[in-house]
Amino acid sequence: MCRSPMAEGLAKNILGSRVKISSAGLAPFSKNATREAVGILKDLYGIDISEHYPKPVMDLDLNRVDLIIGLDSTVYSYLRDVYPHLSEKILLWEIEDPFGKDMKAYKETAEKIQDHIKKYLV
């Protein structure tokens, strides 16, 4: 409940309304993004993800998307195994999950996500 909402918030901020962006997790267990993720995005980027609610990837119609990004090799492998017909649309970004770590880890994660968005999507 942190990396994916952070990535969605940052991508929407950087890419704007020209693209539709949704995030999802393999097994979201919370009703909101973590307090740390909300705080980092608000403090560093002025982005409010406090209303974000995590959803499972199975709730998305991935057949209708142009690009799917797995934020670590576990997620990437799962996506390729479950959706082999979409393998050309699935990218891997190795970005460590900061869940349960300190605010420095959340800041580093946000910076890595922002760098990847600017490098690969802009």
CA distance 73 to 93: 8
Average pLDDT over residues 70-75: 94
Name the residue with tokens 């909101």: 32
Under 8 Å between Cβ of 54 and 2: no
CA distance 6 to 20: 15
Residues 6 or more apart from 68 whose CB is under 8 A from it? Answer: 62, 79, 83, 86, 89, 90, 91
Full set of structural domains in the chain with CATH: 3-96+104-110 (3.40.50.2300)
Can you state the angle between helices 3-15 and 103-120, rounded to 10 degrees? 40
The rounded mean pLDDT for the chain is: 93
Phi first, then psi: give them for residue 36, nearest 5 degrees: -65, -45
The model's pLDDT over 41-67, given as tens digits with 9 standing for 90+, comes to 999 999 999 998 888 888 889 999 999
Under 8 Å between Cβ of 52 and 24: no
Average pLDDT over residues 19-39: 87
Q: What is the pLDDT of residue 44?
A: 96
